[in-house]
Amino acid sequence: MNEQLRQRIESLVSSNKCMLFMKGNPKQPQCGFSSNTVKIIQELLGSDFVTFNVLEDMEIREGIKEYGNWPTIPQLYINGELIGGNDIVTEMYNTGELQSLLGLPQPERTPAKLTISEKAKENILQGIENIGSNVLMLSIDGNYNTRFSIEQPKGYELFSEIGEIKIYMDIGTAKRANGIEIDWVEDLKGSGLVIKNPNEPKAVNQLSQQDFAKGLKEGTFNHIYDVRTEAEFAQKAIPGSKRLDKLAMQEIEQLDKTTPLVFVCNVGNSSMGACEYYRKQGFTNVNNLAGGISSWKE
């Protein structure tokens, strides 16, 4: 490694308490490992950390591997020391070591309270009858994607016990799983487990033009974001709305999660992507303007 590159990397590592080299950025991770790692750091620190997108700088992308003698991305540095990649960060998060390094309290280790219907119990017991030393693992990620799997426990998991059934999970899943109801359904599409999760963010609201007009009049909608191009926005825009650019995204990050947000595009399709993104970020009042700007009339 040439000295100039080494100094660039050392500057990034030494000047930031928590420095994450990743593929993509926190809003748009470009690989699953980077996505999982950045969500763990966000859960602990909010936005109080720095990231570097190695896909935008091939010199750093290759140099960071040599610098820390670590062959993969992402890489997390805390107080100038290499912690590791996704697997190590995940394990340290679950054991509480990561929280200690960051000067944070130890994680809550209370098992989730679950409700399972009798039909679901019956089918689960049949499914785990011959799993040997493996366990039934429940995983609910930050986007509330849920799955069951049969795995070897790593030793740091919590488990919820309902009769003869033990359901293992990591600490992040335990928080997101508290209060869920597990049922078994059989219909024309087939049969399987169905999970009702009260913690999942509220679905995006399809906002009618009439309700939007009423909300504007009453002062309900003060945060309206347009996902169209700059040229389209300049040609026709809803008064008081802003283009969803970098500055607007930074503004949204500072808002209370209960703030009503309205997203707009030409006909109401493209704006759904922005709605889903912010819904998964924990915003509970996300609205997509049905019909978009094409149907809006002053």
> pLDDT tens, 162-182?
999 999 999 999 999 999 999
* Region 278-293 average pLDDT: 91
Residue 144: band (very low, low, confident or very high) from pLDDT cuts 50, 70, 90: confident
Residue 143 has pLDDT above 80, yes or no: no
Residue 234: band (very low, low, confident or very high) from pLDDT cuts 50, 70, 90: very high
* 44: in domain: yes
Residue 177, pLDDT score = 95
Residue 77: band (very low, low, confident or very high) from pLDDT cuts 50, 70, 90: very high
Q: Do residues 219 and 277 both lie within one domain?
A: yes
* 149: in domain: yes
Split into its structural domains, the chain has a count of: 3
Residue 209 has pLDDT above 80, yes or no: yes
Residue 188 has pLDDT above 80, yes or no: no
Q: Do residues 226 and 179 both lie within one domain?
A: no
Residue 235, pLDDT score = 94
Q: Do residues 123 and 81 both lie within one domain?
A: no
Q: Do residues 282 and 227 both lie within one domain?
A: yes
Q: Do residues 136 and 178 both lie within one domain?
A: yes
pLDDT more than 90, % of the chain: 85
Rounded Cα gap, residues 248 and 64, in angstroms: 32
Rounded Cα gap, residues 286 and 264, in angstroms: 11
* Region 54-71 average pLDDT: 95
Closest CA to 60 of 3, 21, 19: 21
Residue 219, pLDDT score = 93
Mean pLDDT, all residues of the chain: 93
Closest CA to 62 of 10, 14, 7, 5: 5
Rounded Cα gap, residues 88 and 76, in angstroms: 10
Which of 46, 72, 101 finishes a domain? Answer: 101
At 279, which CATH number?
Answer: 3.40.250.10
Rounded Cα gap, residues 39 and 17, in angstroms: 17
* 106: in domain: no
Q: Do residues 164 and 234 both lie within one domain?
A: no
Q: Do residues 210 and 190 both lie within one domain?
A: no
Residue 115: band (very low, low, confident or very high) from pLDDT cuts 50, 70, 90: very high
> pLDDT tens, 122-131?
999 999 999 9
* 158: in domain: yes
Residue 176 structural domain:
115-196
Which of 176, 196, 216 finishes a domain? Answer: 196
